[in-house]
């Protein structure tokens, strides 16, 4: 979608939102039920439009206009009554997919960075298994001994199995938080966390490939780690999206651009 198409398709809804905001006069109780429903719907659509504008038209005046409109709508909506149930339903059915698509290039970049780290560490450990200790430290020694016996983590002692699980799938809540929060450092810490987690998993794959057990790990990750990895990639995409605001703030100050993008990113990650 080019700039002219974007303006032609979306500007009428922005004008409708402005009309509703003027009508509320900072009191949502003045609106009818239909107007309240439309207000929530238009707010979320405009938030999605802002994300698209920040990505595709960062230097255009419309980006600043949408930033101001979303800020005004947010202030009026959230000082009034809670959003209605159908507005929340609309968010998950319509707005969330739109926001996710807007951030998809950043999520894809997070996935690519993870894969680069994983591929490099896989090859390194596959060629020299002893390098797994460089990547993971001596704490991985019990798992290495079991793998050398041809035993997967599902077959080994519970004590070693718990340690293996910690190495194979790290604390996903912590990783998700770090990849997301890393955006405030221009995305640099986000890149670091994503690449290091790719190195971590790739190294384990390389070790198991040496002993013919990589297929078992692949089955384990497919069955138990797909959702966790997807969440990490999404959080990484949000972190990179926020970091991009500091590198390309457009017409806004870097602080304002970061705050606005953080509002969008939080809606996606939560």
Q: Does pTM top 0.85 for this prediction?
A: no
Do 118 and 250 share a structural domain?
yes
80-121 per-position pLDDT tens digit: 545 555 566 767 777 788 888 889 999 999 999 999 999 999
The closest alpha carbon to 203, from 134, 105, 112, belongs to: 134
* Counted domains in the chain: 2
Q: Residue 45 sits in which domain range?
A: 3-102
Is the per-residue pLDDT at 171 higher than 90? no
Distance CA 142, CA 135 (A): 15
Length of the chain, in residues: 270
> Of 72, 102, 132, at which residue does a domain stop?
102
Q: Is 177 exposed, middle or buried (0-12, 13-18, 19+ CB in 10 A)?
A: middle
Do 65 and 196 share a structural domain?
no
Do 117 and 22 share a structural domain?
no
> Of 86, 102, 118, at which residue does a domain stop?
102
Do 262 and 128 share a structural domain?
yes
The closest alpha carbon to 125, from 114, 136, 116, belongs to: 136
Angle, CA of 80, 84 and 90, to the nearest 5°: 125
What are the C-alpha distances in Å from 138 to residues 3, 149, 257? 55, 18, 44
20-50 per-position pLDDT tens digit: 888 776 565 666 777 777 888 888 889 888 8
């Amino acid at each position: 979608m080019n700039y002219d198409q974007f303006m032609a398709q979306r500007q009428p809804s922005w004008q409708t939102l402005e009309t509703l905001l003027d009508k509320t006069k900072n009191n949502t109780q003045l609106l009818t039920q239909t107007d309240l429903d439309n207000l929530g719907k238009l707010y979320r659509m405009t938030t999605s439009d802002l994300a698209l504008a920040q990505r595709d038209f960062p230097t255009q005046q419309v980006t600043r206009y949408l930033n101001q409109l979303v800020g005004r709508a947010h202030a009026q909506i959230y000082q009034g009554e809670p959003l209605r149930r159908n507005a929340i339903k609309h968010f998950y059915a319509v707005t969330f997919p739109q926001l996710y698509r807007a951030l998809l290039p950043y999520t894809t970049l997070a996935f690519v960075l993870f894969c680069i780290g994983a591929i490099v560490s896989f090859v390194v450990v596959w060629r020299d298994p002893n390098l797994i200790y460089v990547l993971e430290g001596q704490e991985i020694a019990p798992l290495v001994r079991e793998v050398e016996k041809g035993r997967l983590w599902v077959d080994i002692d519970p004590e070693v199995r718990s340690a293996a699980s910690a190495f194979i799938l790290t604390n996903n809540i912590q990783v998700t938080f770090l990849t997301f929060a890393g955006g405030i450092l221009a995305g640099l810490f986000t890149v670091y966390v994503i690449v290091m987690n790719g190195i971590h998993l790739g190294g384990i794959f390389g070790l198991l490939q040496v002993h013919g057990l990589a297929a078992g790990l692949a089955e384990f990750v497919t069955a138990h780690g797909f959702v966790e990895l997807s969440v990490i990639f999404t959080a990484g995409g949000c972190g990179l999206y926020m970091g991009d605001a500091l590198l390309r703030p457009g017409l806004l100050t870097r602080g304002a651009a970061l705050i606005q993008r953080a509002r969008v990113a939080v809606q996606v990650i939560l």
